A = this chain, B = another copy of it.
Amino acid sequence: MAHEVEMRALAEYLGQHNLKHTKQRELVLAAFLEARRHVSSEDLYQVVREKYPNVGYTTVYRTMKLLVEAGLATERHFDDGITRYEIEHEHHDHLVCIKCGKIQEFECRMIEESQREIAARYGFRILRHRHELYGHCTECSEIADRA
């Protein structure tokens, strides 16, 4: 079984919270880790279904919420209204191609610094943020130019 670290983290979380270690939770976590991209519950449901057709929608939705609680996943809301998940990691923002849907992560120290400055200016205490740049990626720009 791959993903030993994450599987152990899940087991630990479940143990500490008197929750049960089930096949379904393991399957959803594995599918999520293997996806290596921003996936929706629907996406994961489809993947899990291929091998285990008796797993329900509900379980996938509930398990993703659980993984967020456990600190293994982060919820993301892009502009199409569908909730997507990514593997938990900090300090990054997103470039979203509105043609092909590709999502590219980026980091920028300068922006982080500016955010702190803005927060100070308005007396806000920042807990989290969203920063998404929407447009066309290199490939899609080229296609548009040729047309």
Beta-carbon contact of A127 and B122 below 8 Å: no
Task: Determine which of B81, B98, B114, B119 lies in contact with A114 in the assembled complex, contact meaning CB atoms within 8 Å.
Answer: B114
Return chain B residues, CB-CB under 8 Å to A5: none
Known: A132-B129, A133-B119, A135-B119. A114 touches B108 (CB 8 A): yes
Size class of the A contact interface (CB-based, 8 Å): 35 or more
Q: CB distance A136 to B141 under 8 Å? A: no
Residues of B within 8 A of A132 (CB): 129-131
Q: Provide the bound-state CA to CA distance between A130 and B94, in Å.
A: 10
Decide if A135 touches B124 in the complex (CB within 8 Å).
yes
From residue 97 to 137 of chain A, which have CB atoms closer than 8 A to chain B? 97-98, 104, 106, 108, 110-111, 114-115, 117-119, 121-137
Known A-B contacts A77-B77, A77-B79; A129 and B131 likewise in contact (beta carbons under 8 Å): yes
As for how many copies of this chain the complex holds, the number is 2
Q: Which residues of B contact A79 (CB under 8 A)?
A: 77, 130
Q: Which residues of B are found within 8 Å of A137, using beta-carbon distances?
A: 122-124
**A71 → chain B, closest Cβ, in Å?**
18
**Which one of A97, A114, A138 has the greatest number of beta carbons of chain B within 10 Å?**
A114
The minimal Cβ–Cβ distance linking A128 to chain B, given in whole angstroms, is: 5
- Least CB distance from A24 to B in Å reads 26
Residues of chain B lying within 8 A (CB to CB) of residue A104: 122, 124
Give 6 CB contacts A-B under 8 Å: A95-B122, A108-B114, A124-B133, A124-B136, A129-B132, A130-B130
